[in-house]
Chains A and B, each alone.
Chain A
């Protein structure tokens, strides 16, 4: 049992983090808490993709280790089993930058909401909206 859990511990971590983020987004009433949950959710997905790129058995980071200038112009045989998969890394690099951009826009919207309603709790905002009929 323990061996079974340990053989995929990265995937279990990803599942637990995704559940925590989803719970914060759905169950918490404070808007900043919802945003924190969204950040946790995003890094959980990124962790999943990075875990796919790992190869066991002597693989290293995807950077060519030999002399690149001497290699230019010649045919070089590179064994794919010696390097991790670079494609998930590239996609997640883009995803991190985009996630920070979305967080910035969401925080700007949050400041506007606070200016208008003077609170950040979801239930109070809904109550004010019902009372004023807006």
Chain B
């Protein structure tokens, strides 16, 4: 494992998390959450947890994002904070 790459991905994950809770558009927030999940996936692959990484990529980032988008589509897209 290359620690410089690891630190860069940790920073990306933190930036994605902060962006996901600060964006006012809920659809954008959900998509950023999907990007966050994929970065988390890369981090876990680097740490040797390959099974966890591909479960997260398919179930967490894929199915979770689809569920979120369906729910946002049925409700309001704007949020006040």
Q: Do A and B interact directly, with beta carbons closer than 8 Å?
A: yes
- When A16-B14, A17-B13, A96-B60 are in contact, do A32 and B43 touch as well, CB less than 8 Å? no
Interface of A is mostly: helix
Interface of B is mostly: helix
**Could you say which residues of chain B place their CB within 8 Å of the CB of A30?**
26, 79-81
> Quick check: B40 and A97 within 8 Å, CB to CB?
no
A38 to chain B, nearest CB (A): 11
Contact of A92 among B49, B71, B76 (CB under 8 A): B49
Of A30, A97, A99, A111, chain B has the most CB atoms within 10 Å of the CB of: A30
Of the four ranges (under 10, 10 to 19, 20 to 34, 35 or more), the interface on chain A belongs to 35 or more
Q: How far does the alpha carbon of A45 sit from the alpha carbon of B18 in the complex, in Å?
A: 17
Q: How far does the alpha carbon of A100 sit from the alpha carbon of B55 in the complex, in Å?
A: 11
- When A20-B18, A32-B79, A53-B48 are in contact, do A99 and B13 touch as well, CB less than 8 Å? no
> Quick check: B40 and A43 within 8 Å, CB to CB?
yes
B42 to chain A, nearest CB (A): 12
Contact of B17 among A40, A62, A104, A121 (CB under 8 A): A40
**Could you say which residues of chain B place their CB within 8 Å of the CB of A119?**
76
- When A111-B74, A121-B80 are in contact, do A9 and B55 touch as well, CB less than 8 Å? no
User: Which residues of B approach A to under 8 Å, CB–CB?
Assistant: 1, 3, 6-7, 10, 13-14, 17-18, 20-21, 26, 29-30, 33, 36-37, 40, 43-44, 47-52, 55-56, 59-60, 63-64, 67-68, 70-72, 74-76, 79-81
A-B contact pairs, 7 of them (CB 8 A): A9-B10, A29-B81, A32-B29, A46-B52, A96-B56, A100-B67, A120-B76
